[in-house]
Amino acid sequence: MTAVHRAMLEAQGPVLQFDRPLLEGETPSHVPVVVNLFGTPERVAAGLGVTLDGLDDLGAFLAALRSPSPPDGLRDALSRWPMLKAALATRPKITKSAPVQNVVFEGADVNLSTLPIQTHWPGDAGPLITWPVVVTRPFGSRAADVGTYNAGVYRAQVLDRNRLIMRWLPHRGGAAHHQSWARQGEKTPVAVVLGADPATLLSAALPLPETVSELTFAGALNGTRPRLVPAKTVPLMVPADAEIVLEGWVSPVETVPEGPFGDHTGYYNPAEPFPVLQVSAVTHRKDPLYLSTYTGRPPDEPAIIGEVFNRLALPTIRAQIPEIHDLWLPPAACSYRMAIISINKRYPGQARRVMMALWGMLPQFSYTKMIVVVDADIDPGNWDDIAWALATRMDPTRDVMLLENTPMDYLDFASPQPGIAGKMGIDATTKIDSETTREWGKVMKTSEEDAAFAADLVARLMQSSGT
């Protein structure tokens, strides 16, 4: 199934549904598997409730959530009404019954092996849940306090019929909530939502402000109040219209090795200890669907989502570093280990200042090992433009900056030590003032009048030749 999924994604094909996936022992499952839901940028944008053309407005909305400014008069207030309306829509609606609880298995009736959870790569340790929305809340909060919830996408390895391994990294919200319960010696209530609506799933992956709940933010994307229902065996609210929910408790002390599994780097990550979730209930619709994906060397769905999220993040990044004109994080470079940044250059040394600001101010660039800065006339998403800038505007002895012993993703096997490595910045901008003692060359460019004439003539010639 993973091989078919990958081939279809590379062909930019449609969403796939496997109607009768085979479980272990060649037994057909009654639960169909859906893959490639986010296989194109257009479908990712649709999941966010916009078209590709609407991503810039949504990005501005996200930037305003992080640093809102008061309206400047009535006209400005009215211009912000769509944003205000969306914010009002985030208030959840609590319901007493829900489609996701049409079928309920509790206690000894729980059996995860009846779900078509895939083993994706030949070297994987076992079945792996890849699109779970994991819902948690901090110790001391109430189940009704949905605003305190965290919803994150963390992969979960199936251990046996009623146990999962929760792979949440220390800096993620789910891990922080788990620690708050573990410090009190208490088990953490958890709900693993499988087949959440696209807005909820993407909200769980978005880098939202800590004060914004992912579950309720999905309402802003959908334009409707999110419907939640009390879980059956844990004190949590869960999405009422999801396909499947796994409820359970995470031990404050028990861990087991998770992995190895194929990862976004294109390599298998080593096994590491993570907390264990004891599943207390499985609830689902009458005829549920199981949403799945694979993680591997790009292209994959997370990389496509990452491209869209980078565009959404641009207004927030510009709020911190205004001279940034555009950026591109190449998916082939694991979507974050290399960044191409175009700037509106005004003074000497500006490219290096931007590099240091990205590494030092913005957490999402902590693991970016290479930054290339170019001028605003260069398309950062065009490798030919980048190669030209590197070849004509960069001198290796002057324009390369190296840093040592900086934080790095421990999955980067090129690092000399796990979790720490060097970084490189390349200034491929036009050199000005004190940056050079030479007179800089003038870029050749066709006049706008000639370019328009040529475009019109070529279009007519092509039309007349039937090409």
Q: Catalytic pick from 263, 379, 385, 412?
A: 263
Quote the strand ranges of 170-323, DSSP E.
188-194, 227-230, 237-239, 244-258, 261-262, 268-269, 272-284, 290-291
Q: What is the maximum alpha-carbon separation in the chain? A: 79
Q: Which two tokens stand for residue 42?
A: 């257009």
Residues 6+ apart with CB under 8 A from 37: 15, 43, 47, 198, 291, 293, 301
- In the chain, the N- to C-terminal Cα span, in Å, equals 40
For 13-41, letters b (16+ CB in 10 Å) and e give eeebebeebebeeeeebebebbbbbbbbb
The pair phi, psi for residue 413, each rounded to 5°, is -70, -15
Listed residue (284, 300, 283, 280) closest to 292, CA to CA: 300
What residue has token string 């993407």? Answer: 202
Residues 6+ apart with CB under 8 A from 214: 133, 149, 150, 151, 152, 200, 203, 204, 206, 208
Cβ–Cβ under 8 Å, residues 335 and 302 = yes
Task: Report the amino acid identity of residue 277.
Answer: L
DSSP 172: S
Q: Rounded to whole angstroms, what are the CA distances from 57 to 68, 312, 411? A: 15, 9, 34
For 201-239, letters b (16+ CB in 10 Å) and e give bbbbbbebeeebbbbbbbbbbbeeebbbbbbbbbebbbb
Task: Report the amino acid identity of residue 323.
Answer: E
Distance CA(405)–CA(402), nearest Å, equals: 10
Residue 379 bears catalytic tag: no
Q: Which residues are catalytic?
A: 263
